[in-house]
Amino acid sequence: MKHKLYIISAGPGAPEFLSVQAKELLGTLSHVLCFERLKHLIKDEKRQVVLGKLSDAPALCEHYLKNSDLGLLVSGSASFHSIAPYIKRSLADGLEVEIVPGLSSLDYLLAKIGVQREDCIFESCHGQEFSFDALYQYAKEKSYLGLLCDKLMSPQNIAKKLIELGHESSRMYVGEKLSYTDEVIVYKSSRDIAAMRFDDLSVCLIELEGFRQDMTNFGMDASVFKKHPKVPVTKAEVRSVILSKLKLFDSSTLWDVGAGSGSVAIEACLLNPHLKAYCFEKNDYAIDALKENISAFKLDKRVRAVKGLAPSSFLGHDLPDTVFVGGSSGEIETIINYLISQATKDIRLVVSAISLENAYLSHKIMSQALFKDLHFEQVSISRLEALASTEVLRAENPVFIISATIAVAKKR
């Protein structure tokens, strides 16, 4: 006779939040596996099998299932970022598993503070790194981000990450020891939360309004993009001009050539939900940062990293209606001529250059009769910096931006 494993949701922790089915199983099963913090929910100590570490669980499950049905008591809801998938994968084929539903700690917190679940996105920091760059994308979809915390990614450390992104005034809810008599729920700024201390298994809810405001304007701060020391991220102010010159809102396919960290293509896709992009980059170290940024902003289905030197790396990819060249490795003339030869529809082309030689050559090529709407600008940015007892403006390197449209009608 085969025996069944019941993965039982413990809810937020207090016995009164166990489901009726969970209470019945905890009172009738011969043995129930659990971690130390949950053993108080199993009244008969003889039924308790306390786990020292998670990796012990599969072997213990198979051992006890030889003789009888078994319970495995897990924190919160077994259907929400729990150890249930790991246990299922680790067990021998053919073992029957039933999930006993329950209340998650985040759902408990939402009920306490009066926030609706449909207004939230949920993630877990348990044993994994959370990408805070994704907050900008989440902010376009929902009003709150709920996080299950752990020792490394505690509420105070999460708050410190928000401060690093320039959001020290962002508001957060933190729930600690939820449902117990010493329950704590606080609502403060990330600056205040960063200075506090919380239980490792707390939960938090981040208000995303401030991140949504950042996303409604051109020019996401360069600090939100991962980068390699050899690959600078396009400055926000320069990127804003580039994006405006690309005229994105009528575009469906963007090529970002010499993409580096991918900031132009990524922000373009965040601004235009119908846009897809190919990021062409020759350097391995830049490709790694590029792929991380694509994943961080949840754009894997719309932005593709392509390794190789342009224009040979263009072959086999959907033809663009918009192209940005941020790096050409000396091949700007070849790149532009390739675009001209392949164009079956108008292609909007924007080139950025930091050298006079590249700026001059780009302008010369784009001055041909095949182009229309030609513009040549220099963007210069200065930032205020402290110097001794005063403040001075420190100039960034100027950037030349050349833009025009390849007009198919003029090819005939």
CA proximity to 254, closest of 327, 324, 333? 324
Per-residue model confidence (pLDDT) at position 17: 95
Q: What is the pLDDT of residues 367-410, one digit of tens each?
A: 988 899 999 999 999 988 888 888 889 888 899 999 999 998 77
Alpha helices of 216-331 — where are they, by DSSP H?
236-246, 263-271, 284-296
Per-residue model confidence (pLDDT) at position 215: 54
CA proximity to 184, closest of 195, 174, 196, 197? 174
Q: Last residue of some domain: 103, 137, 157?
A: 103
How far apart CA 309 and CA 400 sit, in angstroms, is 22
β-strand partners of 34: 50
- In this predicted structure, which of 62-66, 81-85, 161-165, 354-358 has the lowest mean pLDDT? 161-165
How far apart CA 107 and CA 178 sit, in angstroms, is 11
| Number of Cβ atoms within 10 Å of the Cβ of 348 | 21
350 residue type, one letter: V
Is residue 50 within a helix (H) or strand (E), and if so which, with residue range?
strand 48-50
Sheet with 203-207: strands ordered across: 120-124, 144-148, 203-207, 171-176, 184-189
Q: Last residue of some domain: 213, 228, 244?
A: 213
Q: What is the pLDDT of residues 238-289, one digit of tens each?
A: 999 999 999 987 778 999 999 999 999 999 988 887 789 999 999 988 999 9
β-strand partners of 9: 74
Check whether residue 44 and residue 116 sit in a common domain: no
Q: Which residues contact 182 (CB under 8 A, 6 or more apart)?
A: none
Classify residue 274 by its DSSP letter.
T
Per-residue model confidence (pLDDT) at position 214: 54
How far apart CA 274 and CA 293 sit, in angstroms, is 19
Considering only residues 231 and 117, tell me which one the structure prediction assigns the higher pLDDT.
117
Check whether residue 114 and residue 92 sit in a common domain: no
β-strand partners of 176: 184
pLDDT at 188 over 60: yes
Q: Last residue of some domain: 103, 130, 157?
A: 103
Count of domains forming the chain: 3
Domain that holds residue 40: 4-103
Check whether residue 401 and residue 272 sit in a common domain: yes
Q: What is the pLDDT of residues 323-358, one digit of tens each?
A: 999 988 888 999 999 999 999 889 999 999 999 999
Q: Output the domain CATH number for residue 292.
A: 3.40.50.150
Q: What is the pLDDT of residues 89-139, one digit of tens each?
A: 998 787 889 999 999 999 999 999 999 999 999 999 887 778 786 787 788
How far apart CA 175 and CA 171 sit, in angstroms, is 14
Check whether residue 88 and residue 145 sit in a common domain: no
What is the rounded average pLDDT of the residues 191-209?
Answer: 94
* pTM flag (> 0.75): no
Is residue 159 within a helix (H) or strand (E), and if so which, with residue range?
helix 155-164
CA separation (Å) from 404 to 87, 244, 323, 376, 377? 58, 12, 10, 9, 12
How far apart CA 139 and CA 151 sit, in angstroms, is 26
Backbone angles phi, psi at 379, to 5 degrees: -110, 125
Task: With beta carbons less than 8 A apart as the criterion, state whether 320 and 253 touch.
Answer: yes
How far apart CA 329 and CA 225 sit, in angstroms, is 23
Check whether residue 179 and residue 242 sit in a common domain: no
Per-residue model confidence (pLDDT) at position 383: 86
Mean residue pLDDT across the chain: 90
CA separation (Å) from 1 to 8, 32, 69, 97? 22, 20, 10, 15
Q: Output the domain CATH number for residue 13.
A: 3.40.1010.10
Q: Output the domain CATH number for residue 186.
A: 3.30.950.10
How far apart CA 69 and CA 65 sit, in angstroms, is 6
Max mean pLDDT range (120-134, 184-198, 207-221, 291-305): 184-198
Percent of the chain with pLDDT over 90: 64
